[in-house]
Amino acid sequence: MICNKCQHREEIEYDIEGEFSKLASFIGMNKNMFHDRAVPEWVSPPYPLCPTCGAAAGGKLRPELPGEMEKTNWLFLLLGQMLGHCTMPFLKYFCRMNGHHRSGAYNRLLFQTYMELCCQLDPLFRLI
């Protein structure tokens, strides 16, 4: 993660099982309201405050995306529910590499990306 104000870099770790189970239960409880579109929390994810400049300067940590799309850490973005930070070309790249239709609205591509990553982590996820 990198601060948008002071450029401070911070490493964040996630518990894969814990974060994925939270995400899977959220999707399972709310699957009827999605309609193949990402929820607002996914489209505009909240970012943590920077520990260096913090609230005083309005610095927030955001994921640092690589210049080359094939080096993107999709699992990190999924577990942090920060895929909404990805631009349209990143989402189209992911959908193309995973055999999904890649045209459509941003929130539909984002939804497809979330669902595909969840299914890659747990093949039984499709049954939820």
pLDDT score recorded for residue 87: 92
Q: What is the CA radius of gyration of the chain?
A: 15
Which pLDDT tens digit goes with each residue over 31-41? 888 888 999 99
Distance CA 24, CA 18 (A): 10
Residue ranges covered by each domain of the chain: 2-127
56 falls in which pLDDT band (50, 70, 90)? low
Q: CA–CA distance from 17 to each of 5, 63, 96, 111 (Å)?
A: 32, 21, 27, 21
72 falls in which pLDDT band (50, 70, 90)? very high
- Are the C-beta atoms of 1 and 73 separated by less than 8 Å? no
Which pLDDT tens digit goes with each residue over 11-28? 989 999 999 999 999 998
6 falls in which pLDDT band (50, 70, 90)? confident
State the amino acid at position 48 in one-letter form. P
Distance CA 47, CA 20 (A): 18
Distance CA 79, CA 101 (A): 23
Provide the pairing of β-strand 2-3 with 61-62.
Answer: antiparallel
